[in-house]
Amino acid sequence: MPDVSSLDVLRDQADAYVFQHIHPHVRFGTASDRYAGWIGQIYPESATEEVSTQSRSLGGSSYSIGKVPISYAPEYFDHFSVLEVDFTFYHPLHDAGDPTRTFHTLKRYADAAPSTARFLLKAPQRFSARTLRTNTSDGPRYTDNANYLDAEAYVSTFLDPARELLDNRLVGVIFQQEYQRRGDSPPPRAFAEELDSFFAEVPTEVPTHLEIRSAHLLQPVYFDWLASRGLGHVFSHWNWLPMIREQWHRCGQRFTERTGTVVSRLLTPRDMPYAEAFKHAHPFDAAVPALSETQQAQDMVLDATALAFQAEKQEANLYLIANNRAWGNAPELARTIAHRILDERAKRSGKRT
């Protein structure tokens, strides 16, 4: 363990939003990256001149979201070790044999990012979602997904081109499945069996981590299946999931991904709808007390810290992904967790801070 002087250096780095060396088993990152609200933290003030804006309507409100260009990816990786790419969730990389707009956007990241950059990609919902949501004038409509668990298309339109673009910089895929009511999903054993048929046809070179957002499916039979396949469980702090500490007990206090990698996503306050969290967090430039100064937020920080030391104990590497909606500002959330980890490192080394 480091002495106090080296911990002090790491604290200074954390306050400068530099997170690469906080803990040898933790890789800090964020869900998406180009927020203009991070100028002055992650991006230089000069980036202000290059900000573009896009409009978004959500929950009856309209928002203007500022973004810096993809060319600022090197600055992002001066601070973080890994980037979770979310836009691949909405469209595959190839369609009808041709590269899609999503492919070309990801290629721009691949071209801009340094060789030391690491990426987590979200698998397209075209293959992971049992039902797909479309918004209509009468409200949201849900339809069965004809491409659900189509392994051949998943590999040819997403996984293979992703590996081609990123090579060893691709450190994992997040396979996210939407919340399902108990009556709309199979029982846990049947659920694991249908997933097994899919993953039996998927190459294993890229670690895959499943984020299943239905708590009733997170049962021992499911976690045993993950372990048998060498797939990871995403420890997600999200609206309707149990706390990470409960997920840890449900999974048998073990990490199941075969290469020893772990993903934790700190996304949205528990029991708070997405639109409400977004409204609080926007424009994502600072911690927001309504998000960051709640008991569940403090519990989230403690759970993330505990997971870091479980990774150390089990010789795993934790990709810890912060989201603006969980705190108001993802870099500030990462800084808070970094200091909590350093506090614990000091305590365990027997040094006073």
16 vs 14: CA distance, rounded Å: 5
HSE-CB for 279 with a 13 A CA cutoff: 11
1 vs 10: CA distance, rounded Å: 13
Instruction: Give the pLDDT confidence score for residue 5 in this predicted structure.
Output: 59
Instruction: Give the pLDDT confidence score for residue 349 in this predicted structure.
Output: 87
Amino acid letter, 278 = F
48 vs 46: CA distance, rounded Å: 5
Q: How big is the chain, counted in residues?
A: 353
Residue 125 sits in a domain of what CATH number?
3.20.20.410
Instruction: Give the pLDDT confidence score for residue 1 in this predicted structure.
Output: 45
- Show the CA angle centred on residue 174, arms to residues 331 and 115, nearest 5°: 65
User: Helix or strand or coil: residue 65?
Assistant: strand
Give me the phi and psi of 162, to 5 degrees please.
-65, -45
Instruction: Give the pLDDT confidence score for residue 142 in this predicted structure.
Output: 85
Please list the ranges in the chain whose pLDDT falls under 70.
1-5, 136-138, 351-353
Provide the token pair at 14. Answer: 């954390």
Residue 342: exposed, middle, or buried by beta-carbon count in 10 A (0-12, 13-18, 19+)?
buried
Provide the token pair at 159. Answer: 């996984």
- Dump strand ranges (E) for the chain: 26-31, 52-58, 61-67, 82-85, 94-95, 98-99, 118-122, 131-136, 139-144, 170-177, 208-212, 232-237, 261-266, 317-322
What are the b/e assignments for 311-328, b being 16+ CB within 10 Å?
A: bbeeebbbbbbbbbbbbb
- Show the CA angle centred on residue 92, arms to residues 167 and 81, nearest 5°: 40
Q: pLDDT digit string (tens) for 112-156?
A: 999 999 999 999 999 999 999 877 666 778 899 999 999 999 999
How many distinct structural domains can be found in the chain? 1
Q: Which domain holds residue 130?
A: 4-349
CA distances from 82 to 32, 79, 261 (A): 10, 9, 13
98 vs 120: CA distance, rounded Å: 23
Instruction: Give the pLDDT confidence score for residue 226 in this predicted structure.
Output: 99
Instruction: Give the pLDDT confidence score for residue 3 in this predicted structure.
Output: 55
DSSP string, 189-219: HHHHHHHHHHHTTS-SSS-EEEEE--GGG-S
Instruction: Give the pLDDT confidence score for residue 353 in this predicted structure.
Output: 46
45 vs 273: CA distance, rounded Å: 33
> How are beta strands 26-31 and 82-85 bridged, if at all?
parallel
Spatial CA neighbour of 127 closest among 169, 101, 162, 165: 162
Average pLDDT over the chain, rounded to whole? 96
Is residue 271 within 8 Å of residue 248, measured between CB atoms?
Answer: no
pTM (2 d.p.): 0.95
